[in-house]
């Protein structure tokens, strides 16, 4: 899914406002899931994903972990809806999309270091979801990931 973002002139208040909107949509989706309305929940979570994609536009700096968490949670919620709808292939594709997005940020030369570090910290979530949804690595040794971005190595010690 792609999202065309408006011209960027964001500040922290705009980022916070988008995060609040993402949360509102996510809560509505979770409520629909709890009411066993997977198709309805899916529409809420897709809207939340659109907001999460807006949050990753370059103009929305800061709160890198929160912005990436919104993206990952939206993908995982959508995958759960697909699973509930009996569509495991779509669920797997959704999780794979999130995982590859993080890998792209980790390896992206143009990715700001704080965002790259945040993406690296979130990789374990998408990898676990890949296994949960029966991904190619289920039941096997995990792939070897590159070492953390240079600036984040100090965070490990």
Structural domains of the chain ordered from first start: 13-138 (1.25.40)
Q: What is the pLDDT of residues 65-91, one digit of tens each?
A: 899 999 999 999 999 999 999 999 999
The mean pLDDT value of the chain amounts to 82
CB-based contacts of 117, cutoff 8 Å, min separation 6: 64, 148, 149, 151, 152, 155
pLDDT at residue number 60: 64
Q: What is the pLDDT of residues 87-140, one digit of tens each?
A: 999 999 999 999 999 999 999 988 888 889 999 998 988 888 888 877 654 444
**This prediction's pTM:** 0.78
Residue 86, classified by CB atoms within 10 Å of its CB into exposed (0-12), middle (13-18) or buried (19+), is: exposed
Distance between CA atoms of residues 53 and 137, nearest Å = 27
Q: In this prediction, what percent of the chain has a pLDDT beyond 70?
A: 75
User: For the chain, first and last CA: distance in Å?
Assistant: 38
Count other Cβ atoms within 10 Å, centred on residue 88: 13
Model confidence at 38: pLDDT above 60: yes
pLDDT at residue number 29: 97
Output DSSP code: residue 10: -
pLDDT at residue number 44: 98
């Amino acid at each position: 899914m792609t999202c065309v973002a408006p011209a960027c002139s964001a500040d922290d208040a705009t980022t916070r406002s988008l995060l609040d909107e993402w949360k509102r949509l996510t809560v509505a989706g979770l409520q629909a899931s709890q009411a066993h309305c997977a198709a309805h929940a899916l529409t809420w979570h897709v809207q939340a994903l659109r907001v999460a994609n807006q949050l990753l536009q370059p103009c929305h700096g800061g709160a890198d972990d929160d912005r990436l968490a919104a993206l990952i949670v939206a993908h995982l919620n959508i995958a759960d809806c697909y699973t509930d709808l009996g569509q495991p292939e779509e669920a797997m594709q959704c999780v794979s999309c999130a995982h590859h997005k993080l890998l792209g940020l980790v390896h992206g030369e143009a990715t700001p270091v704080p965002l790259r570090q945040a993406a690296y910290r979130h990789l374990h979530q998408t990898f676990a979801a890949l296994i949960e949804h029966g991904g190619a690595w289920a039941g096997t040794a995990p792939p070897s990931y590159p070492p953390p971005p240079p600036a984040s190595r100090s965070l490990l010690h």
